[in-house]
């Protein structure tokens, strides 16, 4: 029997809109059906927007160390008194790299390339399985079923637009069919159609793409790889040779100073969570008074949260932060990788989301006074969810400035003034944390394939990646090591293939500079590997994907602690080790009080001598061949949730391949070898089981002194 695949509980606010569009097809005008798969593109009187002039080199940069190290009495490896001078420490670092210089990044900015950067339909309808499509869209597990549905739905929507239907008429039809086919409750259908319909229609009116091109753009390799010149682009690298790569990175010194770092992600705080409310409401988010009364006692929402589709109650967030402040008093800084609002994507407003951002920022300031916090923007902070127009979309009613301007105000509680311009432009920034150590926060919503605005022009939105290259090249010149933080992991299927491909090249070019990456979004406890694109035997970077605070869904709440190589002459700035902490939600609700505990420590649990990319790559190879080790990883991946499903061979291949693929929508390129190894091990296991069964049966028969003749073949 095929086992349930582990879901990706990352938010899918656009899911119900897509299903509603598909429902609309069942009642659509038959004469329009041949247009669904037509490759004839209508002429649209509209041109792609040009990138505005934004001179990266003229923007202010963080060049003064932002973090002042503290002496922790409980820590044996503090910075020595003689090393207290940042300037002396920086001089020693520079002396170790004689190539460091103050060269200009661009030889000639003005020269060279600039930075300005239908007979089939009846059969298709019969193949629609809306439940399967819903599951695949929600969990980012796309197949040909979803692809076919996307093409048909997109084609019909384009036809309705071209036939002169008004936005109001189209949205009303989508709402009616969504409700009549019981895809969702009436209020969810109406809310999603209103929130997302106008935006999607606005975009589709302005693009000249066929359904094949649109669906390939959104779904990726699950919907064929349709070449689309409008969405093919390359970043520009400066004419600076890549430093020679080392055979392997040095192992950090065990008795050296370190930084203790807290990583919090995907809080999804729900101010309307209600204990005892209905946790089985059949809507995208339950456990609210509006979810109705539970049909049975077992359907009631727990006091501290719930394993079903429910987000985090305030008491759980409060208790976790109090526990962290009391247990980890020596935290040096915090990584906060986004997704603060809940999953009620059908009725969110800008005002509500801003209120949650302000409230949670205020709480973090109060709980961790004086501790620097480095935030990254999640895909849920916008309203509607996943909607992040690039800077060239500057109309007052649809511009994203309402969010970015407020983020600048809130984040400035921790960040220097130099980040204001890039935060207000695109919610990304760069901060020098210590001499020779920088953190760069990226807005990963510009790689989000649920962000409809990228259909207009996906070419390096907000010039973020080109700015990223500038920051990394400047860091390389200054002999700085860099940690990258963001929300959506670049190898996740929610990240656009073209954006992810360019990002992968950047990491490869600056592998000697980027020593770690940190993301959230998936809600699981996992990681992603990066390799040299020209040599897949050479791992060059590791992305740590932190567990979610939200239990949404079937998960325990969790957070992570990292130990980062600190200030000393031989520092690598690598992650030395990390711990994952969780709260057992079932026991908390049963006994009325939560207990947070350390689930595991990476090096001890997986018997790793260090956490370099090569060490993680060795672990991946072991996971493929060692079933006992994989089951341990699977337990931690689910944060030891009692609600986790079993994992068959296909599930195992997908999870390990997810770890292997730091570049999205390119599984065939990275996963063939590991999938073959798993198939081979599965075959061995099956043969071993079959042989053992035969042996046991023979032994049993041999132990019986008398057998009836008919069992021996006699009549």
Question: Longest C-alpha distance within the chain, in Å?
Answer: 98
5-14, 272-281, 291-300: which range is least confident on average?
5-14
The whole-number pLDDT of residue 37 equals: 39
Task: Say if residue 39's pLDDT is above 60.
Answer: no
Task: Say if residue 329's pLDDT is above 60.
Answer: yes
88-102, 218-232, 266-280, 515-529: which range is least confident on average?
88-102
612-619 average pLDDT score: 97
Q: How many helices (H) and strands (E) does the chain have?
A: 20, 12
The whole-number pLDDT of residue 127 equals: 46
The whole-number pLDDT of residue 682 equals: 73
Buried b (16+ CB within 10 A) or exposed e, 489-522: bbbbbbbbbbbbbbbbbbbbbbbbbbbbbbbbbb
The whole-number pLDDT of residue 649 equals: 93
Task: Say if residue 686's pLDDT is above 90.
Answer: no
Cα distance between residue 467 and residue 428, in whole Å: 10
Pair 267, 360: CB distance under 8 Å: yes
pLDDT band at 174 (very low <50, low <70, confident <90, very high): confident
Task: Say if residue 425's pLDDT is above 90.
Answer: yes
296-310, 339-353, 558-572, 701-715: which range is least confident on average?
701-715
pLDDT band at 498 (very low <50, low <70, confident <90, very high): very high
Higher pLDDT pick, 484 / 153: 484
Tokens 């740590």 sit on residue: 544
Cα distance between residue 425 and residue 58, in whole Å: 14
The whole-number pLDDT of residue 87 equals: 72
215-239 average pLDDT score: 86
Cα distance between residue 600 and residue 664, in whole Å: 28
The whole-number pLDDT of residue 415 equals: 97
Annotated binding site: 266, 268, 339, 379, 487, 521, 523
Pair 244, 235: CB distance under 8 Å: no
Task: Say if residue 42's pLDDT is above 80.
Answer: no
pLDDT band at 124 (very low <50, low <70, confident <90, very high): very low
The whole-number pLDDT of residue 134 equals: 54
The whole-number pLDDT of residue 639 equals: 98
Pairing relationship of beta strands 558-565 and 333-336 according to DSSP bridges: unpaired
Higher pLDDT pick, 209 / 137: 209
pLDDT digits (tens, 9 = 90+) for 211-220: 888 888 888 7
672-682 average pLDDT score: 84
442-458 average pLDDT score: 95
110-114, 269-273, 312-316, 441-445: which range is least confident on average?
110-114
Task: Say if residue 565's pLDDT is above 50.
Answer: yes
Residues with Cβ within 8 Å of residue 35, at least 6 apart in sequence: 118, 155, 156, 158, 159
Task: Say if residue 154's pLDDT is above 90.
Answer: no
Cα distance between residue 37 and residue 51, in whole Å: 32
34-38, 332-336, 379-383, 481-485: which range is least confident on average?
34-38
Q: What is the pTM of this model?
A: 0.84
Annotated binding site for Zn(2+): 266, 268, 339, 379, 487, 521, 523
396 DSSP 8-state letter? T
pLDDT band at 517 (very low <50, low <70, confident <90, very high): very high
pLDDT band at 156 (very low <50, low <70, confident <90, very high): confident
Q: Catalogue all structural domains in the chain, each as residue range(s) with its CATH number.
A: 117-222 (no CATH), 258-273+311-677 (3.60.21.10)
Is the torsion defined by CA of 408, 409, 413, 419 positive or negative? positive
Task: Say if residue 426's pLDDT is above 60.
Answer: yes
Task: Say if residue 34's pLDDT is above 50.
Answer: no
pLDDT band at 65 (very low <50, low <70, confident <90, very high): confident
Q: Is residue 46 exposed (0-12), middle (13-18) or buried (19+ Cβ within 10 Å)?
A: exposed
pLDDT band at 699 (very low <50, low <70, confident <90, very high): low
597-605 average pLDDT score: 98
The token pair at 416 is 């220097």
Mean of pLDDT over the chain: 84
Total Cβ atoms within 10 A of residue 583: 24
Tokens 């089985």 sit on residue: 280
pLDDT band at 117 (very low <50, low <70, confident <90, very high): very low
Task: Say if residue 383's pLDDT is above 80.
Answer: yes
Cα distance between residue 704 and residue 699, in whole Å: 9
pLDDT band at 406 (very low <50, low <70, confident <90, very high): very high
Could you check whether the bond before residue 553 is cis, i.e. omega within 30 degrees of 0?
yes
Task: Say if residue 79's pLDDT is above 50.
Answer: yes
The whole-number pLDDT of residue 396 equals: 76
Cα distance between residue 60 and residue 418, in whole Å: 5
């Amino acid at each position: 029997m095929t086992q349930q695949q582990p879901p990706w509980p990352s938010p899918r606010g656009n899911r119900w809109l897509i299903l509603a569009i598909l429902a609309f097809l069942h009642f659509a005008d038959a004469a329009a059906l041949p247009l669904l798969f037509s490759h004839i593109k209508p002429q649209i009187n509209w041109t792609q927007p040009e990138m505005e002039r934004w001179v990266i080199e003229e923007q202010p940069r963080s060049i003064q160390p932002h973090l002042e190290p503290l002496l922790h009495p409980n820590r044996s490896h503090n910075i020595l008194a003689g090393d207290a001078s940042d300037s002396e420490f920086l001089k020693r670092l520079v002396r170790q790299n004689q190539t460091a210089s103050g060269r200009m990044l661009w030889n000639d900015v003005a020269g060279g390339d600039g930075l300005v950067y239908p007979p089939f339909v009846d059969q298709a309808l019969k193949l629609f399985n809306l439940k399967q499509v819903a599951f695949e869209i929600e969990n980012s597990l796309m197949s040909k079923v979803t692809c076919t549905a996307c093409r048909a739905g997109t084609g019909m929507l384009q036809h309705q637009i071209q036939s002169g239907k008004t936005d109001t008429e189209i949205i009303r039809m989508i709402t009616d069919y969504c409700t009549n086919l019981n895809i969702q409750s009436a209020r969810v259908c109406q809310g999603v159609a209103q929130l997302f319909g106008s935006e999607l229609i606005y975009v589709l009116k302005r693009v000249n793409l066929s359904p094949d091109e649109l669906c390939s753009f959104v779904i990726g390799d699950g919907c064929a790889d349709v070449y689309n010149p409008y969405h093919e682009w390359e970043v520009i690298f400066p004419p600076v040779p890549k430093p020679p790569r080392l055979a392997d990175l040095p192992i950090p010194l065990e008795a050296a100073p370190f930084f203790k770092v807290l990583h919090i992600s995907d809080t999804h705080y729900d101010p309307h969570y209600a204990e005892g409310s209905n946790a089985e409401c059949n809507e995208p988010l339950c456990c609210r008074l509006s979810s109705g009364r539970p049909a049975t006692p077992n359907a009631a929402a727990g006091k501290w949260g719930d394993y079903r589709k429910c987000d985090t109650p305030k008491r759980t967030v409060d208790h976790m932060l109090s526990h962290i402040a009391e247990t980890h008093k020596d935290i040096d800084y915090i990584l906060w990788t986004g997704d603060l609002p809940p999953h009620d994507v059908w009725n969110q407003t800008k005002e509500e989301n801003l209120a949650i951002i302000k409230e949670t920022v205020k709480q973090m300031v109060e709980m961790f006074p004086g501790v620097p916090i480095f935030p990254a923007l999640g895909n849920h902070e916008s309203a509607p969810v996943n909607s992040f127009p690039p800077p060239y979309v500057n109309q007052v009613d649809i511009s994203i400035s309402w969010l970015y301007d407020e983020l600048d105000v809130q984040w400035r509680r921790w960040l220097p003034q130099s980040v204001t311009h890039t935060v207000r432009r695109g919610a990304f920034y760069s901060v020098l944390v210590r001499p020779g150590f920088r953190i760069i926060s990226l807005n990963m919503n510009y790689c989000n394939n649920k962000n409809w605005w990228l259909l207009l022009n996906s070419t390096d939105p907000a010039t973020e990646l080109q700015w990223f290259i500038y920051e990394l090249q400047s860091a390389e010149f200054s002999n700085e090591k860099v940690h990258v933080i963001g929300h959506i992991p670049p190898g996740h299927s929610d990240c656009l293939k073209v954006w992810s491909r360019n990002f992968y090249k950047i990491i490869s070019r600056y592998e000697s500079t980027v020593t770690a990456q940190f993301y959230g979004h998936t809600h699981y406890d996992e990681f992603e590997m990066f390799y040299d694109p020209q040599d897949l035997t050479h791992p060059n970077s590791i992305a740590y994907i932190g567990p979610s605070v939200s239990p949404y869904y079937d998960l325990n709440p969790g957070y992570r602690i990292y130990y980062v190589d600190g200030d000393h002459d031989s520092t690598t700035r690598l992650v030395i080790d990390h711990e994952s902490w969780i709260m057992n939600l079932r026991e908390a609700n049963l006994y009325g009080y939560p207990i947070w505990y350390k689930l595991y420590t990476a090096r001890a649990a997986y018997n790793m001598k260090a956490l370099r990319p090569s060490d993680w790559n060795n672990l991946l190879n072991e996971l493929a061949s060692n079933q006992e080790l994989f089951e341990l990883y699977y337990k931690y991946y689910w944060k030891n949730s009692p609600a986790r499903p079993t994992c068959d061979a296909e599930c195992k291949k997908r999870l390990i391949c997810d770890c292997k693929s730091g570049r999205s929508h390119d599984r065939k390129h990275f996963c063939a070898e590991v999938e073959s190894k798993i198939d081979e091990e599965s075959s061995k296991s099956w043969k071993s089981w079959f042989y053992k069964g035969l042996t046991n049966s023979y032994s049993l028969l041999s132990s019986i002194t008398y057998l009836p003749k008919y069992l021996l073949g006699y009549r």
